Chain A
Amino acid sequence: MSKTIFIVEDDLFLQGLEATKLKKEGFEIQTAASGKDVTKVIELKPKIDIILLDLMLPDMDGFEILKMIRKEASYLNTPVIVFSNLSEEKDIEKAKSLGINEFMIKSNFNLDELATKVKEMIGQ
């Protein structure tokens, strides 16, 4: 059975590129572009094997979204990659304190490299 990636990204163009690439690599995809969207998705409790999390979203930041997701027992230990163009020390520190597995600066990676990292973390 394919693994599922939950892409939380407000830029719909970038979200689309990420989703297209990762689908091609054989993953199932769930997407959300805001905290509100995330709430709607997790209410349905879909299987999620990894979360790809942007930090700047229109209604709340990625950290608040992650806390919200973690309140749901089935996602308590779901691995998380922060995939953002923010790179402030305070953001990286906060990410570590929330137990995030990887902090990737979007502009430093192409989509092949993103797919490789996801496969390393959860297989296929």
Chain B
Amino acid sequence: MEKDAEIKSLQEKNEKLIKLMSVRADIVSISAHQIRTSLSAIKWIVKMFIDGDLGKLDTEQENLMKKAYEDNDRAISIVSELLLANKTEDIVEKKYEFTEVDIIELIDDSIFDFSGEAHAREVEIIFLKPNRKFGYVLADKEKLRIVFQNLLENAIKYSNAHGKIFIALKEKNDFTEVSIKDAGVGISKEGKDRIFEKFFRDTEAQKKEAVGSGIGLYTSKKIVEGHNGKIWFESNEDEGTTFYFRIPNFKSKE
């Protein structure tokens, strides 16, 4: 009887927590939207000043406006990072739901999602799609999407303008291996041992992008290992980085 009451109490607390998490997620999403709307207006107005659309600026005014534009962009990045951290935390904490996932379709979708950002940074994404269909893995689709998006977003952020990112797949007996190769800033010698630590940001990454949460790779590793997979990388400073991960293939019951 006591145990039943305990179980019931725990279930009620769990449901309350789930509701609170949902409310919190909505508040974050709505607040982010409102902040972004204001930051968009500032971005566009300041750019109009810089472009001389509202009259010619003297040198000092122009420099101040450029600084304002950069700092506004930094605020925009921070909002995006907060949103990503918020979303990631929610998804990672949820129970794994394993199904058959078409990894090629997932990669195509993610490339579409990031095409705008890649274009804005003048970075080209090249997916070396295999000639025949493979890559049906046993995965939690939402969590696997986060892994791929983290790695792709990093490849874009840390690439130089006109850089190319190559995405490839390899079929092995029991798993599918994905690689994402960039020719960007690379990971420092000192950073290589710590790159999967929570909140760690490599010095090379910080030089390229001032804003970053430092939880992307930590989360990706956690998720890949939750799939009985493996994640690793090869990197040289100023030459670029290739991240690899492998996920077990889906085996249908015959």
Contact = CB atoms under 8 A, between A and B. Distances in A.
Interface of A: 11, 13-14, 17, 56, 85-89, 92, 96, 102-113, 117
A7 B65 CA distance: 28
Nearest to B117: A108
B120 A107 contact: no
Contacts of B48: 17, 111
B116 A103 contact: yes
B76 A107 contact: yes
B87 A110 contact: no
A11 B39 CA distance: 13
B47 A108 contact: no
A54 B203 CA distance: 38
Contact of B47 (A87, A89, A96, A111): A111
A92 to B, nearest CB: 6
List 4 A-B pairs, minimum CB-CB distance, nearest first. Answer: A85-B36, A107-B36, A106-B40, A107-B40
A61 to B, nearest CB: 12
B75 to A, nearest CB: 9
Nearest to B34: A85
A23 to B, nearest CB: 13
A112 B47 contact: yes
Interface residues of B, number: 29
B70 interface: no
A110 B47 contact: yes
B116 A107 contact: no
A47 B41 CA distance: 29
B230 to A, nearest CB: 26
Contact of A109 (B32, B83, B120): B120
B123 to A, nearest CB: 14
B236 interface: no
Interface string B54-77: 000000000000000000000010
Contact of A113 (B32, B76, B83, B120): B120
Contacts of B115: 102
Interface in B49-105: 51, 76, 79-80, 83, 87
B29 A88 contact: yes
Given A56-B33, A89-B87, A108-B76, A103 B113 contact: yes
A116 to B, nearest CB: 9
B142 to A, nearest CB: 8
A71 to B, nearest CB: 26
A13 B44 CA distance: 11
